[in-house]
Amino acid sequence: MIAALGNQAMQEKHWAKVWGLVDGAPPTLLNFSLERLLAAGVDSHFEKVEEISAFAAGEANILKTVAEISAVWEETFFTVKPYRDTKDRFFITEIDDLITTLEDHQMTIQTSMGSKYVAEIRDEVEQWEKRLGYISDVIDEWLVFQKSWMYLENIFNAEDIQKQLPSEAKQFMQVDKFWKDHMIRTKKNSLVTEVC
């Protein structure tokens, strides 16, 4: 009983559940002791107390994991390099480690979502599940677009192609301006969570 009640992960909501087992009127967190709990008859609810304590520990572990994931993404940046030694065109590169980290964190979050301890903290974990999924989708689309842009930029830079295909060249120039502006913004602030 002492080990279960001494669990450092116990929060106010868990203490409210413990007091709910005995008289339903929890005092303030600073105003009770083991003696008061025993006097209220908590010892006759050992299994329930142990279960509440285990849930507190499980929730704390999940929240710690989410906090660690959050800390990593607060310091994860795209590697942005100049495209063909130009000063106003950029592309993202060296993305393999970022994708590996993303996939690892998605797996960790999915595991947490399957835990029986996630029930009361589901919203916070789901928020990261959605955020990581969105980052993954954006990166996938970004890499496809970037590859196509590099291919087409090479073609539409040739003056003879611009003369032969003027409407297509005009369309490409619009896309090229969008891409250029986007990549300049990304170069200025390459924090993955903000860019995505």
Please check the confidence at residue 36 and state whether its pLDDT lies above 70. yes
In the chain, where the domains are located: 2-56, 76-195
Is pLDDT of 31 > 90?
Answer: no
The 3-state DSSP class for residue 104 equals helix
Alpha-carbon distance values, 13 to 30, 67, 113, 179 (Å):
14, 20, 21, 49
Upper half-sphere CA count for residue 102 (Cβ side, 13 Å): 22
DSSP calls for 48-95: HHHHHHHHHHHHHHHHHHHHHHHHHHTT-B-EEEESTT-SS-EEEE--
Mean pLDDT of all residues in the chain? 93
pLDDT tens readout for residues 74-116: 999 999 999 988 888 999 999 999 999 999 999 999 999 999 9
CA distance 41 to 49: 12
pLDDT tens digits, one per residue of 106-150: 999 999 999 999 999 999 999 999 999 999 999 999 999 999 999
46, burial (CB in 10 Å: exposed 0-12, middle 13-18, buried 19+): exposed
Half-sphere exposure of 115 (CA within 13 A, CB side): 25
CA distance 10 to 56: 5
pLDDT in tens, 156-189: 988 999 999 999 999 999 999 999 999 999 999 9
Residue in 109, 132, 133, 131 with CA at minimum distance from that of residue 121: 109
Any idea which fold 76-195 has?
Answer: Butyryl-CoA Dehydrogenase, subunit A; domain 3 (1.20.140)
Contact of 86 with 80, CB cutoff 8 Å: no
Asked if 185 and 90 touch (Cβ cutoff 8 Å), the reply is no
Query: Which structure tokens are listed for 176?
Result: 């090229």
